[in-house]
Amino acid sequence: MPEMLTLDVDGRSVQVAPGSSVVAAIARATGTAGVVTRESVSGAQRGPLCGMGVCQECRVTIDGVRHRLACQTLCTQGMNIRTAGKAA
């Protein structure tokens, strides 16, 4: 089995297999399939919908870069992910 990657999701240390998407890491960190990645302008919780980057609902901040698509981004060692407007 390949070595696991360790990354940070909203202050939680998470281990995922190489090749995992950021959405998978967020789900692993929260322990739920109901992944929340951001909040709409009105404050409604939003999450991945299409899984192919079209809907843009999975936008998160990765290593300080906002609006990255969690469903289309593969995890890397030491990655820092912030969801739903969480502070870094």
Residues 6+ apart with CB under 8 A from 22: 58, 60, 62, 68, 70, 71, 73, 74, 75, 79, 81
- Where in the sequence is the domain holding 38, given as residue range(s)? 5-82
Percent of the chain with pLDDT over 70: 92
Distance between CA atoms of residues 13 and 52, nearest Å: 26
Residue 87 has pLDDT above 60, yes or no: no
Residue 15 has pLDDT above 90, yes or no: yes
Write down the pTM of the prediction. 0.86
Q: 28-37 pLDDT, tens per residue?
A: 998 876 788 8
pLDDT of the residue at 88? 42
- Is 64 part of any domain? yes
Count: domains in the chain? 1
Residue 68 has pLDDT above 90, yes or no: yes
User: Which CATH number characterizes residue 62's domain?
Assistant: 3.10.20.440
* Average per-residue pLDDT for the chain: 90
